[in-house]
Amino acid sequence: MNTHANELKNCLLKIIDEMALSSDIFNLSGKPAFCRKSKFNFSTLIQFILSFGSNSLGHEIGEFFEYRKGFPTVSAFVQQRKKLSYTALEHLFYRFNECTFKKPVLYKNYRLLAIDGSDFSLPYNSQEDNVMGDNHFSTLHLNALFDVCSKSFLDVIVQKGLHENETGAACELVDRISEKHPVIIMADRGYENYNLFAHIEERLFDYVVRVRDSDNSCMVSGLNLPKTEEYDITKRVVLTRHFSGPAAINTEKYKYLSKKSRFDYIENSKSPDYEITIRFVRFLLDDNTYEVIATSLPEEIFSMEDLKEIYHQRWGIETGFRELKYILGLSAFHSKQENSILQEIYARLVMYNFSMLIAQHVKPKEKDLKYKLQINFTQATKICLNFFRYKGKEPPYDIEATIQRFLLPIRPNRKRQRVSVSTCVVSFNYRLA
């Protein structure tokens, strides 16, 4: 009945059991930690962290152990998780991706990968050095590489908010991609960076990145682009460490990079210049504002409308972050310790990919309706998480049929004004009971 879902769950549990055989490499205590009998042995501890929601720890433990007589205390869990390195969950994330990887879903023979970052507000911890401002504000920044067609996180880099460097992390994520298919990297404003573009082109990938067009410090300033409302023009830019010579005469073509500017392909002033060709496309949006895209895709193959469609799909990573935070509970951490918080971040990433692999396998039935239907991924994620927590061999319901009951209409060109709101830490005292 649940063949595909059971295969994925068994795959995940098998990886955890394999890790348990060499659990010493994930032990932080320096003493034997997971060898004796314990209600929180290595495998159970990992499974419990994976099953977290946004409830209090006491409630989470009670639910996981079904309130059976003698279920472990919160103190017992806290002591055990302190011995577990977050690298165990990190290893599980990459290993699960590796074991479940199949032929990727392509868009016009390209794999669409989005790069973006999201902040996570942390409970104040006086022992951590990652504290900013008089209000003791502390964050971690999650940089992610996301496959928008298969709805899965492929790779991540976690940085302390005090040392956040999105473009540097993006370059590293690009360098770590192992891909045989042509790739298009998509990113929002804030990633308009010559170094990132060069890293992408050196990997023989392409990019579609939104850039600013109303700031004197932005990339398009000084390139003598048309003053028209819409344009599609290609520019050759020469990056140099030489302040004098051609760079001083032809400032439109040459871009001087100071010693402080990171560019990995020009080491110093004695190194040769680096030439890069960038296509800039400016077009009108439905809300009567303009958007500028920088891309390496050729005009003969990808029209302005194609670029609009490709960039629009970048929104999938924003949806992924929302589901991580507010559906899987990553906005409510269960610890102040950085190691424990990193455990929860990688655990939520594993469960997100686990849920999407099941949900993507479900195809909505064709009906004669005004709009086509799609899976409600919010409900699907909750159903898949409940399935993972189930202790028996087979849950008393058909997972795919249950997911089929929660469908949403696809309304083309539907838009809503995006409202930015500040977020704060969810206090340990104010959790779902």
Q: Which two tokens stand for residue 19?
A: 């890790």
Q: Each residue of 167-176: pLDDT tens digit? A: 999 999 999 9
Give pLDDT, residue 86: 97
Give pLDDT, residue 331: 85
Q: Each residue of 260-285: pLDDT tens digit? A: 889 999 988 888 999 999 999 999 88
Q: How confident is the model at residue 433 (pLDDT cuts 50, 70, 90)?
A: very low
Q: Is the pLDDT of residue 429 over 60?
A: no
Rounded mean pLDDT, 173-194: 93
Phi-psi bin for 203: left (phi > 0), alpha (psi -120 to 50), beta?
Answer: alpha
Q: Compute the CA torsion angle 409, 114, 315, 261 (nearest 10 deg).
A: 180
Do the strands 290-295 and 274-284 form a parallel or antiparallel pair, or are they unpaired? antiparallel
Rounded mean pLDDT, 34-55: 89
* Best CA proximity match to 114, nearest among 9, 206, 194, 184: 184
Q: Is the pLDDT of residue 316 over 60?
A: yes
Give the integer Cα–Cα distance in Å for 90 and 101. 17
Q: Is the pLDDT of residue 1 over 70?
A: no
> Other C-beta atoms within 10 Å of 415: how many?
9
3-state secondary structure (DSSP) of residue 255: strand
Give the integer Cα–Cα distance in Å for 311 and 183. 14
Beta partners for 14?
Answer: none
Give the integer Cα–Cα distance in Å for 281 and 295. 8
Contact 282, 229 (CB under 8 A): yes
The residue count of the chain comes to: 433
Contact 26, 3 (CB under 8 A): no
Locate all alpha helices (DSSP H) within 338-433, ordered by sequence.
338-359, 377-389, 399-404
Q: Each residue of 338-390: pLDDT tens digit? A: 999 999 999 999 999 999 999 999 888 777 667 778 889 999 999 999 999 98
Q: Which residue has the tokens 């790779």?
A: 155
Residue type, 343: Q
Question: Please, what is the Cα angle at 254 between 264 and 273, to 5 degrees?
Answer: 40
309 Cβ contact list (under 8 Å, min separation 6): none
Contact 375, 358 (CB under 8 A): no
Give the integer Cα–Cα distance in Å for 166 and 199. 14
* Best CA proximity match to 296, nearest among 279, 309, 275, 282: 279
300 Cβ contact list (under 8 Å, min separation 6): none
Question: Please, what is the Cα angle at 352 between 209 and 334, to 5 degrees?
Answer: 110
H or E stretch covering 275? strand 274-284
Rounded mean pLDDT, 219-228: 83
Contact 425, 121 (CB under 8 A): yes
Do the strands 111-121 and 139-147 form a parallel or antiparallel pair, or are they unpaired? antiparallel
